[in-house]
Amino acid sequence: MLARISRTLLLFLLTFAFLAAPFAPTQSQAATTASAHALIRQPVRAEHGMVASAERIASQVGIDVLKRGGNAVDAAIATAFALAVTYPSAGNLGGGGFMMIRLRDGRTTAIDYREMAPSAATRNIFQDEKGNLIQGEGSSLIGYRAAGVPGTVAGMELAFKKYGSGKLSWAELIEPARKLAAEGFPIYGYLARNLVKKKDQFAPYEDSRKIFLNDGKFYQEGEVLRQPELAATLRRLQKNGAREFYEGETARLIAADMKQHNGLITMEDLRGYVAKERVPVRTTYRGYEVITMPPSSSGGVILIEMLNILEGYNLHEMGWSSADRYHLMAEAMRRAYADRAEYLGDADFANVPVAGLIDKNYAARQRSTINMTHASTSAEVRAGHPVGAESSETTHFSIVDAEGNAVANTYTLNESFGSKVVAKGTGFLLNDEMDDFAAKPGTPNYYGLIQGERNAVAPHKRPLSAMTPTFVLRKDGTLWFAIGSPGGSTIINTVLQVITNIIDYEMNIQQAIDAPRIHHQWMPDELAYEPYGLSTDTLHLLEARGHKVYVRPNAGWTTGEGYMGNAQGIMLEEKTGTRLGASDPRGDGAAIGY
């Protein structure tokens, strides 16, 4: 409880400091008050390597790998497996995600290890005989049928084989996670509270109840959580390699439990899973190159569309916390999310007009429809015509090693603790990513996102995602910073705001992450803001322009307190190359360097 109060107080003080102090904090504006500067946190500094993740133990695991001679990819794999143990609401073996890798020589690639729909998944599988969405067990949100075929283990294997340092073995990278699962770790306050909060959803599932509800004796903060079945699964992966998950004993356990409980995933689905390497999408924003994730994530394409729209305005002159700036951000978000609903899906299955959506001429046409004095309505804003026409409990980590290799990785179970099902005997939770499909095109999903036919359910298809792991380069082509966040549908907008905070308002990486956030996703037609995030004057000015402005504490894409995201970023200092790590005060993560 004390930790929760302290985090809320920190967020309040930081928000007050941002609203009280002018931005950007350039040298010519050095007259900002001493009290405001005292509340602005500085990033963690390190000479060699840095890991920023949502959980301190996992960050330390990554740093230990770097110290032993591993590269950023090695550290990412170890961190991902560790988060599956210490951050079970989102860290996972039973989910999937996206990894962006930038090597020291400038080569950049994207690994798509998003879940895939089982072969038994059909377009209307989550609708009843009347065409209504099924609720509860059997739906796309909870229980055995909600899970897609997990991709995390395959994604880590692909990264390891192609981009690992070769200095550390697969088994060595998994060992810290296996040891944490076997020996346990002290439950932290957020996890203890979250387990109790989800008790009714865990209760129907035997292994979930046994592991996470302690058979009714709820874990208290500081108690040690041991996960022997998960340790055994990790030991099998160490001994037999990643394919054990898809073809060995672990696969047999998943398939048997699915069959017993009318689930969808079969041994054939598991054997058929494949992670894919894809070409990143790119743009420039005010001369800085932005490299980000392509479909099956919508994140990179929609991020670029919004940056291209905003590039036509002088945000710096408007002021960081001005009504003009927030108005423009909201209007760019509204238009881009309308395009997301219409055009985005798995590019292996649908024609996704990526080139058209990220074209600067298209952004200019979108920009021409924005009225500076009055908000559009989402009813009147429809998808544009380009050429060729996800829970708050995802998690992101960023890593930069001593040689300059970098990883930005976002992965998830979708909703907090996924489907709430632990596959019997495996010790790990399965995702509920089937809800990221359009279970009924045109009907909102858990996050309120409306999605179209391109994202309809189909066998072997990957559901649309908002995950947006991103690199931004300096004008000389060197890495400037890596950034990403969880947050369901807010992910793209969180990354957008961090990037513009740095480029337009000259914030450091920690300031850019700490700053209050807004969110608009086209439908529902509302502009959400964080508690204390807008001054009363700014709020009234936005309302006068026609914006419907709310704090949304219980939205699927916010924490219970109304905050958005949990960004983790690393910046390279220009003259020294010092790694500057930043972890979001909205969570309990840590940036650790050496």
Active site residues: 394
Query: Phi and psi at residue 150, in whole multiples of 5°?
Result: -65, 145
Contact 418, 431 (CB under 8 A): yes
Tell me if residue 399 falls in helix, strand or coil: strand
* Neighbouring C-alpha atoms within 13 Å toward the C-beta of 56: 9
Give yes or no for a contact between 331 and 337, defined as CB atoms under 8 angstroms apart.
no
* Helix pair angle (170-183, 72-86), 10° resolution: 20
β-pair partners for 527: 549
> Which residue from 436, 462, 431 is spatially nearest to 450, judged by alpha carbons?
436
The pairing of strands 185-186 and 108-113 is unpaired
CA-nearest of 75, 21, 18 to 51 is 75
Angle at 490 between CA 486 and CA 494, to 5 degrees: 75
Nearest to 254 by CA among 94, 107, 376: 94
Buried b (16+ CB within 10 A) or exposed e, 88-113: bbbbbbbbbbbbbbbbeeeebbbbbb
**Vertex 234, ends 228 and 240: CA angle to 5°?**
135
Q: Are the CB atoms for 270 and 255 separated by under 8 Å? A: yes
Q: How far apart are CA 262 and CA 251, in angstroms?
A: 16
Selection from 284, 288, 291, 276 nearest residue 102 by Cα: 291
Q: How far apart are CA 280 and CA 87, in angstroms?
A: 28
3-state secondary structure of 341: helix
Paired with 412 in beta bridges are 96, 394
Residue whose pair of structure tokens reads 């929760």 in the numeric block: 4
DSSP-derived pairing of the beta strands 394-400 and 406-412: antiparallel
For 167, list phi and psi in degrees, rounded to 5: -85, -25
What is the Cα–Cα distance from 51 to 56, expressed in whole angstroms? Answer: 10
The letter for the amino acid at 305 is E
Residue 533 per-residue DSSP state: -
Are the C-beta atoms of 92 and 431 separated by less than 8 Å? yes
Vertex 458: Cα angle to 101 and 149 (nearest 5)? 50
Closest of 108, 414, 125 to residue 277, by C-alpha? 108
Q: What is the secondary structure of 316-336 as a DSSP string?
A: HHH-TT-HHHHHHHHHHHHHH
